[in-house]
Structure 1
């Protein structure tokens, strides 16, 4: 896979190569946004077959990987230039993927642990966080699952009121 050298593409490349090789082995990249080209990989027919109608106006995640063996869609945000999966972004991603026949997994990806610390209080519950500088580790944010979708009867971050 070739990505341009600009912007968040360094992190996107790490996400595709380092994260995916460790945590989504055998997964199929259905979408990866390229900061230089706007779309680096875009498998619209495969996404549509899973019930996901792409919205290309800033609401789609930076990287989507489908794990057929588990029927999971991994929705990944590169949190280098924009923010991570916070409660608002969680709801946006859930909405844009509402028709999905696959379970949804949300992951915020950062260039390094220092960036994770900067955004830690913003990260949505029932999501994962990953730092490219320590690629073999992931942070699981509460809940009963580690790298897996939550069912509709489980609370989403927007359901919790303080």
Structure 2
């Protein structure tokens, strides 16, 4: 079983018996399964576990199967909880610390619904209010040790939003699905910048990529949304943790071209300074480099045209069949047909 606290982390924990230490770690395992977040100090975890044990009149492992709950008429006031843990768990908590019990040791347990108040409508500082285990959780505690115990927890709590999920405040955000040339899929967070990256992967590279494989993509919410570190290292690309990474990197084995692509929404075209930086960073790369700045539309392109470096390319998503070459005489000549 995971050791949530070890003797080196807490002086008071070190002074407890081996059985009590194991009991506290067992309780913390239960609480984690019940959705109680445990991201606090070892001493506070110890105190939370002991408050939990006191709320169920649990003094040893043998008491787990007989854990008391609110339906049994058992409830301890905060001062009684102090007396309980001092008596049974070798503590010396001051009798005047009852507010700390309520505000810190019991807080997460009550918020999670694992511990209930005997009189929830009473004033916050009501000294007569007691605390006891929620009968639903007490039933699970009594069966702890069964082979299917975690399955029982999942079934019993399946329709309950657990506290750790509430505190994370996770949002179900609509994602932008992107199909890579390899056939695998990525999911971007929504936004114009990521919409442009989707267009680059699905429209630019199939037209001008010569079978290019996407080796790196950064999302606005995940810098390393897609990364083929091994392939980039084979090409002797620069350090991947570097802040100068472009938005998209793709490689055409057919041409031995490495595409460094900037998706510009608010800032960041390949300017003369940016081009110099990228050239310095890729000076040992074994592939030939193609530098591309991409825009969603011509209006956005016009905002940045004065900044774009020579010897680079521009692609505009609303006109995907064309490139703008800032490459001088290399492409000078008449078009035929």
Out of 79, 82, 96, the residue aligned to residue 267 of structure 2 is 82
Which residue number in structure 1 is paired with residue 153 of structure 2? none
Query: Any runs of at least 4 consecutive aligned residues in structure 1 with deviations exceeding 2 A, and if so which?
Result: 53-58, 142-146
Match of 1:119 in 2: 304
Quote how far apart the aligned CAs of 1:83 are: 2.0
Render the CA deviation track for 1:73-113: whole Å, top value 9, x for unaligned: 01000111322000011011112222100000100001111
Give 5+ residue unaligned stretches, structure 1: 147-162
Task: State which drifts further: 51-60 or 105-114.
Answer: 51-60
Matched residue of 2:244: which SS?
A: coil
Q: 1:144 to 1:65 in 2, by over 3 A?
A: farther
How far is the alpha carbon of 1:29 from its aligned partner? 0.4
Compare CA radii of gyration and give the structure with the larger one: 2
3-state secondary structure, aligned to 1:101 = coil
Are 1:31 and 2:216 matched, yes or no? yes
Choose from 123, 130, 135 the match for 2:315: 130
Q: TM-score, normalised by structure 1?
A: 0.84
The 2-side partners of 1:57 and 1:102 are apart by 19
Work out the number of aligned pairs and report it. Answer: 146
Are the equivalent residues in 2 in contact too, given 1:110–1:116 (CA < 8 A)?
yes
What is the Cα-based RMSD across aligned positions, in Å?
1.5
Distance in structure 1 (CA, Å) of the matches to 2:241 and 2:261: 15
Q: From the two aligned structures, give the one with the greater helix fraction.
A: 2
Question: Do the aligned partners of residues 144 and 73 (structure 1) sit closer, same or farther apart at CA in structure 2, a change above 3 Å counting?
Answer: farther
Separation (CA, whole Å) in 1 of partners of 2:280 and 2:242: 14
Match of 2:289 in 1: 104
Task: Give 1:7 shift.
Answer: 5.3
Gaps of 5+ in 2: 1-184, 332-337
> Which structure has the higher relative contact order (CA within 8 Å, separation 6+)?
1
Q: Deviations over 1:5-55 (max 9, x none)?
A: 245111111111110111104111011111121112111110010010334
TM-score by length of 2: 0.42
Q: Which structure has greater strand proportion?
A: 1
Residues 259, 291 of structure 2: 8 Å contact kept:
yes
